[in-house]
Amino acid sequence: MHDYAICDLCDAHEDRLQQGRLQIVEPEYQIYGGRRHFSGPVFTLKVFEDNSLVRSLLEQPGLGRVLVVDGGASRRCALLGGNLAALAADNGWAGLLICGSVRDRQELDAAEVGIRALGLHPRKSTKRGLGGQGDVGTALHFSGVRIRCGDWLYADEDGILISDEPLPPA
């Protein structure tokens, strides 16, 4: 259950939008996963065409967090598929925002987790060794926003917001 609507949050927090404390992610993301609405504190990851670290993080307790993955906007392979979406749901992640591609649409939609990604690609990512390569917990910049660990992400059918702190319901 959610207690917000993105449009209402924007209307109620216009001052925060003007101050840059509330940001709107560019509307280029497709909706996947069994949750259409999701929110939670952000944990960040930066990788490129290697989902080893995505798996490693999703194997850990999510604690209601949202994993935000800067995949360099690659459309050459998927960083998340059905198995990892199920793992995310089982481990208590609220959702994922992936600046990259995903695969296994039916399996993604069956997982009780929110997923936003640029699109679908049938090819799996590479695996560059144990643990993978990338930056965990780093500040990210993509799709017109700056995202840091500890920020809050709110998503519904109308869009995605990034806030520097939890927002009261509008």
Instruction: Report the binding-site residues for Mg(2+).
Output: 104
Q: Which residue has the tokens 């793992």?
A: 87
Binding residues for substrate: 81-84, 103
Q: How many CA atoms lie within 13 A of 73 on its CB side?
A: 8
Helix/strand number for the chain, H first, E second: 5, 12
Binding residues: 81-84, 103-104
* Secondary structure of 64-104 in HEC code, one letter for each residue: CCEEEEECCCCCCCEEECHHHHHHHHHCCCCEEEEEEEECC
